[in-house]
């Protein structure tokens, strides 16, 4: 089967930094793709933007992770750091609310990158097409290297054709 460029949906990097393979993260839940498939970004700053246009479908009570459901129904999870739930919200400032519509590149959260590192946590941020959506994805292309948040593509996905 051949794919045209128009068959793919882009996921824009939600933050600036270095993209690495999800399998290279220190958390077996993410590296084992239990939650879904995607990439991870070693952040260079403390701002997260919406990777797709859609609706904020989830904000963790500790403000360290955000779910965005794209208008095509695909769920994207942005999980700021590894084990940062243990910070109990310290250093995370949400800029959106659950149910809010967002445009790609719109600021979603500010976080204190220095605080995360000072507290001994890894700030590597998984960006995942969740397990609820990954079965609809026919093809997933992942990028590595440096990205600019809100501008660079970090993933492309093609969905199964509806019957």
Given the residues 22, 59, 65, 79, the one annotated as active site: 79
Catalytic residue list contains 64: no
Q: Which tokens in the block code for residue 129?
A: 């097409």
CA end-to-end span of the chain: 17
* Residues 112 and 151: beta-carbon distance below 8 Å: no
3-state secondary structure of 82: strand
- Rounded Cα distance between 8 and 59, Å, is 27
Q: Are 80 and 48 in contact (CB under 8 A)?
A: yes
Name the residues annotated as catalytic.
Answer: 79
């Amino acid at each position: 089967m051949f794919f045209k460029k128009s068959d793919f949906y882009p996921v824009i990097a939600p933050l600036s930094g270095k993209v690495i393979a999800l399998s290279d993260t220190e958390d077996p839940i993410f590296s084992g793709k239990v939650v879904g498939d995607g990439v991870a970004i070693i952040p260079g700053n403390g701002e997260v933007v919406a990777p797709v246009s859609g609706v904020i479908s989830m904000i963790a009570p500790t403000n360290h992770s955000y779910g965005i459901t794209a208008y095509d129904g695909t769920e994207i999870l942005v999980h700021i750091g590894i084990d940062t739930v243990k910070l109990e919200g310290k250093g995370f400032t949400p800029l959106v609310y659950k149910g809010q519509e967002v445009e790609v590149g719109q600021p979603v959260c500010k976080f204190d990158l220095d605080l995360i590192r000072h507290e001994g946590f890894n700030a590597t941020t998984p960006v995942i097409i969740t397990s609820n959506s990954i079965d609809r994805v026919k093809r997933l292309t992942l990028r590595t290297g440096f990205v600019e948040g809100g501008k660079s593509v970090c993933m492309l996905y093609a969905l199964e054709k509806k019957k």
